[in-house]
Structure formats: structure tokens, C-alpha cells
Amino acid sequence: MQRYILIRLFHGLIAFLGVTILIFSLVRLSGDPLDNLLSEEDDEETAQYVRQLWGLDRPLAVQYFTYMGNVLQGEFGPSFSFDASAGELIKRRLPNTLLLGGLATAISFPLSIAIGVFTAVRRDSFLDYGGKSLAIVGQATPDFWIAIILIWIFAVTLGWLPTSGKGEIDHLVLPVIVLALPSAATLRLMRSAMLNQLDSEYVKLARIKGLPEWKIIWKHAFRNAAIVPLTFMSVIIAQLVSGSIVVETIFAWPGMGQLAIQAINARDYHVVQALALMGSTILILMHLVTDIAYVYADPRIRFTRINR
């Protein structure tokens, strides 16, 4: 177990190094960073200072570590289009993104797990077919278009909800719905995991033994089936990161996703870079947490999952 976790941590570290080196070299490819760091009016003295601060006079490998050192201290460099540094901007925007993402997960995850269990128990029922059709339709619909349709219906035509922006609680409704929709994939996953469990020998035994059905479902089958959506968590988080860029842009929500698009339109390299690093780090951590949680939940898996 410990060995597994150590190896997994090591892999996570390699991924982190790989991602940061990749982002670092991609950004360096784009030209002399001094051009971006300085404005027209800056004199040679400032240039010298900036060059030293970012270690631009030293070899690339050293520059990478200087850069990472700065990044780890939350120093991502100045922003050209906003009145704050990239780190400051992220700090300001983070709570908004977390609010939206947190609400979406808090609503969709338990709900889709519950419905997944329900549709497995009531297999081939009306609800089951409904869920299946919705899954097929949902897979083919881009989130940005769902958002547009919802705005068109509920904000523009019916006028029940605001079209965009941050404000009262009603501003949250549409963005949270759109952000939560993709994780409905958990529902299908939970359903098939549940069906597998309900089909197994121990469930039959429990039935013969005369256990009440709710106990079989929730205490026996569910506990074993719940591992599957757990492994799916990292995929959901990846979707949330991408999804929040789309949702925040459409609903003019002042979070990090909207910041990413604003920064790219202003060619604000430091901000883009900082956000890419943030997003990637979150994903690496999530993969790590999922994999480790998975071993705890199912001790049969030690090494088999290392090389997926």
C-alpha cells in the first residue's frame, strides 16, 4: 500500500514537472519574455531589474527553476490588461469559480448517484429509458449550446432568470445547471456498476437470507458499486475546469474561466500561463487523490492500476 502510494506520488511529481516544463518552454518559444514584461517607457535599469528578478540572464534550466520558485510563491508575473498581478487576479477570481463549481458538484454528484442506483433497481422502467435517452442526447449536445438554449428560454423569452452576471441567488441558477449537466455521466456509470453488483452471488445470498431489499441495495450493493463513480471523480473535475471556462464566459461570471478568455483576447501571457498551471496542478492532484482513494476503497488494486 505504502509502496503503491509512493510510486503514485512519484508519477504525479513527474507529471507536474512535465507539465511545468512544457508550459514554460511553450511560453519561451513565443519570444523574448522581456518584451512582455516591460512596457515601452521602461528604461535599461528597469530592464536589468526585471531580467534579474526572473533570472533571464542565466541558462534556461536555471531560468526554469527560478520561474518555478516564483510560481510556488504565487508570483506569476504582472498582467498587462488588468490592474493587478496575475497571482492577485487569480486570488480575486478563485472564490467565484469555487462557488459555481462547488455548487454544481454538490448538487449533481449525489443526485446522479441516487438516480443511478434508482434506475438500476428499477431496470427497464420508464425512468430508466428516460435516463438512457437523456444520456445519448446529452452526449451529443455541446454545453455552450445548452447554455444558449436555456438563456433563450428562461431569461430572454420567459424573463424568469437573469441572462448573465453576478448578483442575487437567481444569477446562480442557469450557470450551475449548465456546469452540472456533464457530470450526469456519473448516473450511467453508477447504474451499470449497480447492475453488476445486483447480479452477483452475494446479493442472491442476501435475498435468500431474507434481508430487506433496501438493506441489500444500500448496505451491500451500493457500497461496492460506489467505487466506480469515485474513480470517475477526476474526469468530472477535468470537465468542471473546462466547463467553467465555457459557462463563465457565457454567463459573464467573474471567475477564473472568464479571466482565461479575457486574458487570451488581450494576449495577456502571464495570466494565461498562470491559469494553465493552476488547472493542470488541480488535475494532477485530483488524479493522485482518486488513485489513492481507490486503493483504500478496493485493496485488491495495488499495482494493476499503475499502468493503466
Partner 1 sequence: MATFADARREGALEQSQSRYQRVMGALRGLPFIWVFILLVVLIIPGLFAPIIAPHDPLDGDLTRRLAPPVWDVEGSWEHILGTDRQGRDQLSRLIYGSRIALFVSMTALLISATIGTTLGLVSGWYGGWMDHIVQRIVDIKASIPAILLALIFVSIFGQSVFVAIAVIAIFLWNRYTRLIRAETLSLRNMDFVARARVSGCSTPRIIVKHILPNVANTLIVLATLEVGVVIILESTLSFLGVGIPRPTPAWGVMVADGRNYLAVAWWVAVIPGLGIFLTVLSLNLFGDWLRDRLDPKLRQVQR
Asked if residue 226 binds partner 1 (CB under 8 A), the reply is: no
Interface region with partner 1, contact rule CB under 8 A, candidates 48-56, 78-86, 119-127, 135-143: 135-143
> Which DSSP symbol is given to 153?
I
Instruction: Please state the closest distance from residue 194 (CB atom) to partner 1, in A.
Output: 16
Q: Is 302 in the site for partner 1 (CB under 8 A)?
A: no
Residue 145 lies near partner 1 (rule: CB under 8 A): yes
Distance in angstroms (rounded) separating the CA atoms of residues 18 and 41: 36
Among 38, 195, 230, 238, binds partner 1 (CB under 8 A): 238
Helix H, strand E, coil C: the string for 185-225 is HHHHHHHHHHHHHHCCHHHHHHHHHCCCHHHHHHHHHHHHH
Can you tell me which of 1, 84, 136, 205 binds partner 1, judged by CB under 8 A?
136
As measured in angstroms, the least distance from the Cβ of 226 to partner 1 is 17
What are the Cα distances from residue 29, in Å, to 20, 24, 38, 138, 187? 14, 9, 18, 39, 43
Contact criterion met (CB below 8 Å) for 255 and 100: yes
How far apart are CB 30 and partner 1 at their closest, in Å? Answer: 4
Considering only residues 56, 77, 143, 177, which one is a binding residue for partner 1 as defined by CB under 8 A?
143
Distance (Å, whole) CA 111 – CA 34: 50
What x-and-dash track marks residues 159-198 binding partner 1 by CB under 8 A? ------------------------------x---------
166 φ/ψ angles, rounded to the nearest 5 degrees: -115, 135
How many Å is the Cα radius of gyration of the chain?
A: 24
Q: Does the footprint of partner 1 cover residue 7 (CB under 8 A)?
A: no
Handedness of CA 117, 149, 133, 248 (dihedral sign): negative
H or E element that contains 277: helix 269-297
**For the purposes of burial, counting CB atoms within 10 Å of the CB of 269, is it exposed (0-12), middle (13-18) or buried (19 or more)?**
buried
Q: How is residue 277 written as a grid cell?
A: 498551471
Q: Least distance from C-beta 44 to partner 1, angstroms?
A: 27
d(C-alpha 25, C-alpha 298), whole Å: 39
Amino acid at 273: Q
Shortest distance, position 216 Cβ to partner 1, whole Å: 25
Q: Which of 22, 34, 53, 98 binds partner 1 (CB under 8 A)?
A: 22
Per CB under 8 A, the list member of 89, 117, 151, 233 interacting with partner 1 is: 151
- What lies within 8 Å, CB to CB, of 23 at 6+ separation is 273, 276, 277, 280
- Interface residues for partner 1 in 259-278 (CB under 8 A)? 260-261, 263-265, 267, 269, 272-273, 275-276
Interface with partner 1 (CB under 8 A), residue from 47, 94, 227, 283: 283
248 binds partner 1 (CB under 8 A): no
Interface residues with partner 1 (CB under 8 A) are: 11-12, 14-16, 18-19, 22-23, 26-27, 29-30, 136-137, 139-145, 148-149, 151-152, 156, 189, 238, 241-242, 245-246, 249-250, 260-261, 263-265, 267, 269, 272-273, 275-276, 279-280, 283-284, 287, 307-308
